[in-house]
Amino acid sequence: MESETRSEIIDATNRALCRHGYAELTIQQIADESSLTTAAIHYHFDTKEALLNVFLDDLIERFESKLASEATDPRERLIAFLDAVFTPSDPEGDGFPVAIMELKAQAPFHDIYRERFLDLDDVMREAVAAIVVDGIDEGHFVQTDPDEVARLVTTTINGAHTRNVALGEPLDETRHHLRNTLEIHLGWELGSGVST
Amino acid sequence: MESETRSEIIDATNRALCRHGYAELTIQQIADESSLTTAAIHYHFDTKEALLNVFLDDLIERFESKLASEATDPRERLIAFLDAVFTPSDPEGDGFPVAIMELKAQAPFHDIYRERFLDLDDVMREAVAAIVVDGIDEGHFVQTDPDEVARLVTTTINGAHTRNVALGEPLDETRHHLRNTLEIHLGWELGSGVST
């Protein structure tokens, strides 16, 4: 498949998901959001599951590139990580977090979705653990278990997204509390001593 | 409505939700799980939304009675709280956490569900904050912000349930990590110095 077609289908899937949610999503709705016919989309993707798999893969790739910060100071890298996680990719797309939550609820019935969410979790945990390791090595953070901190951060992020959808709680609120928690765990006041 | 009928409808809703999920749920499926006809259920509940509202209300009531611990020591009460939260109500009912997650994803479209989830969140946060206040007063925990700890706990619980459904991560795993986090925040080793 040409990368242009792949991009167009992924973007159309994103828009259709935000508009209609996962449960109601049809190939027709995706076609309506693109210049392609349903036949052309079916040619590339046999099933809705195969299409959503590529969509989630793309989501992970985009998240990874958001994480690629230019900062070298572990404290700045941690702030950049929180920025990447807590800034909605598409502020207009109110339907997006809801669609992702619907997909998560489908994970027990679709191994392929579960694998993608596990991949995303690995990416996040490895990123945080690497930052914490460097921060300890460079003497910015107290001695602590980097994997434990990484797990705390990802679980809190999972909770933040659930609270955002279910309770309508702004992501900024959880970000603020996660920051306080990290300060206690890392023995360092986030945002102090670095030029952000 | 007689309380017996109410209970029967709520139990049948629980079973139907676990079996079919929220999206597919019909009054017929609930009737199939009970001795009542669809007409009898419709007589008491105009809409699926009204029925789910009562179902969620009952869930909160049952959760509150699970929280009513006989312990008086704040450290024991905190352990009892974690027991209540991390022990699945129905170990057989694999479908239950998925159905709750589907309902959370519906909250942006149903104010009534959102209100119930906000109620449940209040119950949890108030319970934790009260325990932390007493623990500080009695000198078991270090000086800390009880509301901040309560928010950390509820956000982690939200994250735990999401991880359980989306990633298949056992609830016990998050419980273990939350415990470590609480030890850092409260300056107290959970399970030490009390008779549990």
Residue A174 to residues A87, A157, A168, B82, B153, Cα–Cα distance (Å): 12, 8, 12, 21, 12
Considering chain B, what is the average pLDDT of its residues? 90
Residue of A nearest to B171 (CA): A155
- A76, pLDDT greater than 80: yes
Residue A35 to residues A29, A108, B43, Cα–Cα distance (Å): 12, 33, 49
Rounded to 5°, the CA angle B165-B168-B173 comes to 105
Q: Which range among A118-122, B133-137, B158-162, B192-196 shows the weakest confidence by mean pLDDT?
A: B192-196
CA-only gyration radius of chain B, Å: 19
Alpha-carbon A51 to chain mean position: 18
Min Cα–Cα distance to chain A from B141, Å: 15
Q: Which residue has the higher pLDDT, A59 or B194?
A: A59
Min Cα–Cα distance to chain A from B105, Å: 6
- A191, pLDDT greater than 90: no
Q: What is the per-residue pLDDT for B91?
A: 53
- In angstroms, the CA B98 to CA B107 distance is 14
Chain A CB contacts of B161 under 8 Å are: 162
Q: What percent of chain A has pLDDT over 70?
A: 93
Q: How confident is the model at residue A157 (pLDDT cuts 50, 70, 90)?
A: very high
Q: What is the per-residue pLDDT for B9?
A: 94
Q: Do A107 and B177 touch (CB under 8 A)?
A: no
- Give the burial class of B35: count Cβ atoms within 10 A of its Cβ; 0-12 exposed, 13-18 middle, 19 or more buried: exposed
Considering chain A, what is the average pLDDT of its residues? 90
Q: How confident is the model at residue B23 (pLDDT cuts 50, 70, 90)?
A: confident
Q: Do B167 and A94 touch (CB under 8 A)?
A: no
- B36, pLDDT greater than 90: yes
Residue of B nearest to A152 (CA): B177
Min Cα–Cα distance to chain B from A179, Å: 11
Q: How confident is the model at residue B115 (pLDDT cuts 50, 70, 90)?
A: very high
CA dihedral A34, A38, A41, A42 (to 10 degrees): 170
Q: Which of B118, B121, B165 is closest, CB to CB, to A105?
A: B165
Q: Which of A155, A174, A180 is closest, CB to CB, to B148?
A: A180
- A152, pLDDT greater than 90: yes
Backbone angles phi, psi at B67, to 5 degrees: -75, -25
- B193, pLDDT greater than 90: no
Min Cα–Cα distance to chain A from B2, Å: 31
Q: What is the per-residue pLDDT for B118?
A: 97
- A145, pLDDT greater than 50: yes
Q: What is the per-residue pLDDT for B3?
A: 85
Task: Tell me the two tokens of residue B170.
Answer: 């056992």
Predicted TM-score (pTM) of the model is 0.91
Q: What is the per-residue pLDDT for B196?
A: 43
- In angstroms, the CA B177 to CA A148 distance is 7
Q: Which of A104, A160, A184 is closest, CB to CB, to B165?
A: A104
- In angstroms, the CA A151 to CA B100 distance is 23
- In angstroms, the CA A195 to CA B177 distance is 32
- A57, pLDDT greater than 70: yes
Q: Do B166 and A98 touch (CB under 8 A)?
A: no
- In angstroms, the CA B173 to CA B136 distance is 27
For chain A, give the DSSP string.
--HHHHHHHHHHHHHHHHHHTTTT--HHHHHHTSSS-HHHHHHH-SSHHHHHHHHHHHHHHHHHHHH--S--SHHHHHHHHHHHHHS-S-TT-THHHHHHHHHHHHGGG-HHHHHHHHHHHHHHHHHHHHHHHHHHHTTSS-S--HHHHHHHHHHHHHHHHHHHHHT---HHHHHHHHHHHHHHHHTS-TTSSS--
- A91, pLDDT greater than 90: no
Q: What is the per-residue pLDDT for A195?
A: 46
Q: What is the per-residue pLDDT for A112?
A: 96
Min Cα–Cα distance to chain A from B20, Å: 12
Q: What is the per-residue pLDDT for B50?
A: 93
Half-sphere exposure of A172 (CA within 13 A, CB side): 0
Q: What is the per-residue pLDDT for A196?
A: 43
**Which of A66, A81, A64, A56 is closest to A134 using CA atoms?**
A81
Task: Tell me the two tokens of residue B72.
Answer: 């008086």
Q: What is the per-residue pLDDT for A188?
A: 81
Residues of A within an 8 Å Cβ radius of B: 23, 94, 98, 101-102, 104-105, 107-108, 114, 117-118, 121, 148, 151-152, 154-163, 165-168, 174, 177, 180-181, 184-185
Q: What is the per-residue pLDDT for A116?
A: 96
Q: How confident is the model at residue B195 (pLDDT cuts 50, 70, 90)?
A: very low
- A92, pLDDT greater than 90: no
- B136, pLDDT greater than 50: yes
Task: Say which amino acid occupies A176.
Answer: H
- B191, pLDDT greater than 70: no
Residue of B nearest to A121 (CA): B167
Structural domains for chain B: 1-46 (1.10.10.60), 57-186 (1.10.357.10)
Average pLDDT of the segment spanning B5-29: 92
